Amino acid sequence: MAGWNPFGRKEEKPIDGDSAENPLDQTEDSPSTDARVGMFGWAKSALKKTVTVLNTDIRDLVGKEGRLVDDEFLDELFAYLIKTDMGNGPAERIRDDIQDKFRGRKVMMIDLVDSAKETILEMMQQEPAELAQADAGPTVIMVVGVNGSGKTTSIAKLCQLFTSQGKRVVLGAGDTFRAAAVQQLTVWADRLGAEIVTGKSGGDPASVAYKAVDTAKKSNADICIIDTAGRLQTQANLMDELGRIRRVMSKVIEDAPHEVLLVLDATAGQNAISQARGFTEAAGVSGIVLAKLDGSAKGGVAIPIRQEFGLPVKFVGLGETPDAFARFEVQAYVDALFDQVAEDGADA
Ligand SMILES: Nc1nc2c(ncn2[C@@H]2O[C@H](COP(=O)(O)OP(=O)(O)O)[C@@H](O)[C@H]2O)c(=O)[nH]1
Ligand SMILES: [Mg+2]
């Protein structure tokens, strides 16, 4: 990830004077070869566990000589695909496309992989996942999700991105529920050179959010990121609280929060989806961070996440350190998912 800017394709371009680049800006430039290698690199290493399983299964299924596409084959293929936690819907589509194209004929590994990639790309198409940006004043980002999904760590990662670009960041320790959460965020703030606004333990998170946004506005900060306590979508009062936190921010800056990121734990696979459905409406989620992709054997889950939430996956978490973070790129993701399989297929 080092040397590659998850916010876009900025590093290929010289920075004008000291007008530090705004990491929220995006360009239409097509990525350079270097950037593509970088994106593919993260995806490849993060998806290692998933790819190893898929690789073995599909290689065994098709064999070196290719395989006749009949019902038995299609059933087996389906079973292997859902092992990646891509879900029934996507696995059915991939299977059906293979059936339409190859039924009664022999399919080779490379053709199967090409067809699957094409289907997934179609399903996952998304606008470039830019972070929203305030027209004027600080951009406010609120971060929500279930307990332990990776919210606070993802905030540290976002913070590092911004501070490394010379942006001034204010963090709001809105998880007043656990004292350790405030401490965790304070440590990151100190380390990353951000200001932090905290409240009383057990206090009202909305008042912390208010104070943080107000501080950011008064001190002319560039970015304000608000942490929130983990919660379950079944806890109606806590879900309502997210709405309250939102509303309070908009009293300071009318269109805040500009971005609400839902952090999902990739190691939870399909469970990550069922646990978080209720967040989109309650918190007005605008984008997804898929954390812990590095440790997940269920890396196919990015596919149903994209489909079910109808929201762009904006970032992926690739480790516990603040730099282990990358902008999500559909093409790199899909290439990596089948990379090993395709390579082996070519060798066969
Ligand atoms: N391997 C890995 N671990 C992560 C990632 N993001 C978070 N974690 C770990 O997951 C645990 C919970 O993270 P935390 O940010 O405290 O979750 P929160 O409760 O949602 O705020 C911590 O041990 C983090 O270090 C990631 O992208 N990769
Ligand atoms: Mg936390």
Q: What confidence score (pLDDT) does residue 33 get?
A: 38
> What residue type is 251 in one-letter code?
K
Cβ atoms 266, 291 nearer than 8 A: yes
Distance from the first to the final alpha carbon of the chain: 32
Helices (H), the chain: 33-46, 48-62, 71-82, 88-102, 109-124, 151-164, 179-192, 205-218, 236-252, 270-276, 279-283, 302-309, 330-337, 339-347
Summarised one tens digit per residue, pLDDT across range 53-107 is: 888 888 899 999 999 999 999 999 999 999 999 999 999 999 999 999 999 999 9
The pLDDT-based confidence of 342 (bands split at 50, 70, 90) is low
Would you call 2 exposed, middle or buried from its count of C-beta atoms within 10 A (0-12, 13-18, 19+)? exposed
Segments making up each domain of the chain, as ranges: 46-126+337-347, 139-327
- Of 216, 236, 238, nearest to 226 by C-alpha is 216
Ligand 1 within 6 A of 322 CB? no
Summarised one tens digit per residue, pLDDT across range 203-214 is: 999 999 999 999
> What residue type is 206 in one-letter code?
A
Rounded-to-integer distance, Cα 136 and Cα 14, Å:
25
Q: Pick the atom of ligand 1 nearest to 318's CA.
A: 27
Number of helices followed by number of strands (H, E) in the chain: 14, 10
Mean pLDDT of the residues in the chain: 86
Q: What is the pTM of this model?
A: 0.86
Nearest CA to ligand 1 atom 1: 319
Ligand 1 within 6 A of 153 CB? yes
What are 185's two structure tokens? Answer: 């965020």
Rounded-to-integer distance, Cα 282 and Cα 318, Å:
27
Summarised one tens digit per residue, pLDDT across range 281-320 is: 999 999 999 999 988 888 899 999 988 888 999 999 999 9
Q: What confidence score (pLDDT) does residue 343 get?
A: 57
Ligand 1 within 6 A of 45 CB? no
Q: What confidence score (pLDDT) does residue 17 get?
A: 35
Q: What is 139-327's CATH superfamily? A: P-loop containing nucleotide triphosphate hydrolases (3.40.50.300)
State the residue for tokens 């269109």.
255
Please give all residues whose CB falls under 5 A of ion ligand 2, grouped by chain where several chains appear: 151-152, 181
Rounded-to-integer distance, Cα 78 and Cα 83, Å:
9
The phi, psi pair for 26, rounded to 5°, reads: -125, 155
State the DSSP code for 318. Answer: -
Ligand 1 within 6 A of 241 CB? no
State the residue for tokens 């965790």.
184
Cβ atoms 273, 304 nearer than 8 A: yes
Q: Pick the atom of ligand 1 nearest to 147's CA.
A: 19
Rounded-to-integer distance, Cα 220 and Cα 92, Å:
51
User: How far apart are the CA of 150 and the centre of ligand 2, in A?
Assistant: 7
Ligand 1 within 6 A of 264 CB? no
Would you call 30 exposed, middle or buried from its count of C-beta atoms within 10 A (0-12, 13-18, 19+)? exposed
Classify the phi-psi angles of 145: left when phi > 0, otherwise alpha if psi is within -120 to 50, otherwise beta. Answer: left
Summarised one tens digit per residue, pLDDT across range 99-158 is: 999 999 999 999 999 999 999 999 998 777 789 999 889 999 999 999 999 999 999 999
Cβ atoms 173, 196 nearer than 8 A: yes
Looking at 3.30.479.10, 3.40.50.720, 1.20.120.140, 1.10.1580.10, the CATH number of the domain 46-126+337-347 comes to 1.20.120.140
- Of 123, 128, 115, 164, nearest to 11 by C-alpha is 164
Peptide linkage before 128 cis (omega within 30 of 0): no
Angle subtended by helix axes 48-62 and 109-124, to nearest 10: 140
Ligand 1 within 6 A of 174 CB? no
> What residue type is 322 in one-letter code?
P
